[in-house]
Amino acid sequence: MSGSTFGRQFRVTTWGESHGKALGAVIDGCPAGVSLSEEDIQRYLDLRRPGQSDITTARKEADQCEILSGVFEGKTTGTPISVMVRNADQHSKDYADIAKAFRPGHADYTFFEKYGIRDYRGGGRSSGRETIGRVIGGAIAARILDELGISVCTYTKSIGTVEIQRCDLAERHLNPFYMPDADAAVAAKEYVHKAMEEKDSVGGVIECRINGMPIGVGEPVFDKLDANLSKAMLSIGAVKGFEIGEGFQASLLRGSENNDMFRVSEDRKVVKMTNHSGGVLGGMSDGSEIVFRVSVKPTPSISQTQKTVLEDGSEVDMEIHGRHDPVIVPRAVVVVESMAMITILDLLLQNAVSRIGQIKKLYDR
């Protein structure tokens, strides 16, 4: 399997399975001299940790990280940073009854057909726990973005049909859905509980806003900023849609409605009068806020009886009794934010050598 690394300059490799001994990430290409502690990473990991409310899986994991390499006296050394999280609360026997069955909507069938062998315990590599490595990478990227004055803010826009009516970021951390609208969070809870009573699951939409990006970040033509963001997002399990700015809505607008007209500000900078583009033009940041959304499907593992087949081809009815989130969205918020931070940092580093003038300045020539 060769798809475990993301990025060219800031390279994040995730490793480990849901029910193996541990999971983690190796980050190569992180500049030296960045202050980094286990607490910096833990803060982000705690946002995706399971077992924190009745709308997340009951699996209890401390998800404590250990930095194994690449940091000395609180600073990155420029060498590969390796970070590990040990698995603790493994109930492998929960999966015994589905060991030979393909869960509808999950990756069991395709993993088995591709490799002829699969770790059925919790989905192995296709488990949501793989995202621990992404969050580790994101937490490290965050340290650098912070120094560059770039902020990334991510929240839940909707759960099923319940959409936020306002965006008060202070309210985001006060409810288990990470919704910046406390009233919508109350309605979302009811919506999820109804699905849970019916042994079912729900999906939702996550929105991400990036501020402080310099102009011109993104590498035409295959590593455009929006192209790389969409790949980063669609690589997260259960993410099924990506849109930036007006997104799909742009197809319904006229050019005169969708174009962002230019003016010159008092301090002689070119500014856009609107932001239908979502902060990206021609695959490069245009200096305005970057705004994108992802859609997350309902959790595939549900306890309703479903029709499926076994590895030997026989048809069966299955019920899934393991511990699963009735909705993935709240725990995916920090994963989306992490992948966004990894993507923009990778492109910021690549952009640093886009002009001969910058290279000469770097080498003092």
Ligand X SMILES: Cc1cc2nc3c(=O)[nH]c(=O)nc-3n(C[C@H](O)[C@H](O)[C@H](O)COP(=O)(O)O)c2cc1C
Residues found near ligand X in the complex (CB under 6 A) = 48, 57, 106-107, 123, 126-128, 131, 236-238, 297, 299-301, 324-325, 328, 331-332, 335
**Residue with nearest beta carbon to ligand X:** 128
Shortest gap between Cβ of 262 and ligand X (angstroms)? 39
Shortest gap between Cβ of 239 and ligand X (angstroms)? 7
Which residue's CB is nearer to ligand X, number 281 or number 335?
335
Which residue's CB is nearer to ligand X, number 279 or number 330?
330
3-state secondary structure the chain: CCCCEECCCCEEEEEECCCCCEEEEEEECCCCCCECCHHHHHHHHHHHCCCCCCCCCCCCCCCCEEEEECEECCEECCCCEEEEEECCCCCHHHHHHHCCECCCCCCHHHHHHHHCCCCCHHHHHHCHHHHHHHHHHHHHHHHHHHHCCCEEEEEEEEECCEECCCCCHHHHHHCCCCCCCHHHHHHHHHHHHHHHHCCCCECEEEEEEEECCCCCCCECCCECHHHHHHHHHHCCCCEEEEEECCHHHHHHCCHHHHCCCEEECCCCCEEECCCCCCCEECCEECCCCEEEEEEECCCCCCCCCEEEEECCCCEEEECCCCCCCCECHHHHHHHHHHHHHHHHHHHHHHHCCCCHHHHHHHCCC
Shortest gap between Cβ of 242 and ligand X (angstroms)? 13
Which residue's CB is nearer to ligand X, number 144 or number 329?
329
Which residue's CB is nearer to ligand X, number 89 or number 147?
89
Which residue's CB is nearer to ligand X, number 56 or number 76?
56
Shortest gap between Cβ of 175 and ligand X (angstroms)? 18
Which residue's CB is nearer to ligand X, number 55 or number 244?
55
Shortest gap between Cβ of 103 and ligand X (angstroms)? 7
Shortest gap between Cβ of 300 and ligand X (angstroms)? 4
Which residue's CB is nearer to ligand X, number 67 or number 332?
332
Shortest gap between Cβ of 223 and ligand X (angstroms)? 23
Shortest gap between Cβ of 68 and ligand X (angstroms)? 23
Which residue's CB is nearer to ligand X, number 145 or number 320?
320
Rounded-to-integer distance, Cα 64 and Cα 195, Å: 32
Q: Is 294 exposed, middle or buried (0-12, 13-18, 19+ CB in 10 A)?
A: buried
